[in-house]
Amino acid sequence: MVYWIMKNLCGIYAKTYLNYKVYNRERLRGLNDGGYVVASNHVSFLDPPLVGIAFPENIYYFARKTLFDKPFASWMLHRMWAIPVDQARPEMSTLKKIIQLLKDGEKVVIFPEGERTYDGNLKEVGQSGVGMIVEKSKAKVLPVRLFGPEKALPRNSKKVVKVPVTMVVGEPMDLSDLINDKTIDKRTKYEAITARIMDAIREIECPEERKV
């Protein structure tokens, strides 16, 4: 119930204040063939809800572990399907939980860059841990890209500015060729999976009429 209420409130706010639009929304439907890593660029604190409100179902998110220190915040975050994670040193128990969720057919939002960028441009290299999660879970990947949140709520800013925000959904990715490749070592495989995901996000363009 809390998730549904917050999702709808965020959706109303995004659409009315940020003129939020989603392109290729039809790709979000019918993703029922197993778990999906929803891989997005990361430019603002607004990114998790902006990705989540596009989906018809509930999905899981990462949240910085320290945010769970306060009782009310912890209560709220757990009901928003947030997973506490230590960004500096992710715990194995957390990784196992994420992998199990994906094996169970759930969708988990992951930001391969690991942290918000300052200028809205995608980093050249993503974190290999994302590749490990995909390899261990055998999950498919749905790349998405956000345009505009870096202007709506830039890094080091606390005020949301009224600018258009767009999410473009890429083509679902089946990385089983890399996952099942036994000719490369694990570390190289994780890096290769992450690199392919980063390339897929990088290739997503914002429609001309919605340039922000």
CATH number at residue 81: 3.40.1130.10
pLDDT < 70 regions, the chain: 73, 87-90, 208-212
pTM for this model (two decimals): 0.90
Nearest alpha-carbon partner for 141 in 60, 195, 197, 192: 197
Q: Is residue 194 part of a domain?
A: yes
Q: Write the pLDDT tens digit of every residue in 145-177.
A: 999 999 999 888 888 999 999 999 999 999 999
Nearest alpha-carbon partner for 99 in 137, 127, 141: 137
Structural domain of 31: 2-205
Confidence at residue 176, expressed as pLDDT on a 0 to 100 scale:
94
Q: Is residue 210 part of a domain?
A: no
27 to 31, 54, 58: CA distances (angstroms): 8, 11, 16
User: In the chain, how many domains are there?
Assistant: 1
> Residue 35 and residue 102: Cα distance in Å, rounded?
4
Confidence at residue 41, expressed as pLDDT on a 0 to 100 scale:
96
> Residue 107 and residue 180: Cα distance in Å, rounded?
21
Q: Is residue 212 part of a domain?
A: no
Nearest alpha-carbon partner for 126 in 115, 137, 138: 115
Confidence at residue 173, expressed as pLDDT on a 0 to 100 scale:
96
Q: Is residue 211 part of a domain?
A: no
Confidence at residue 60, expressed as pLDDT on a 0 to 100 scale:
93
Q: Is residue 61 part of a domain?
A: yes
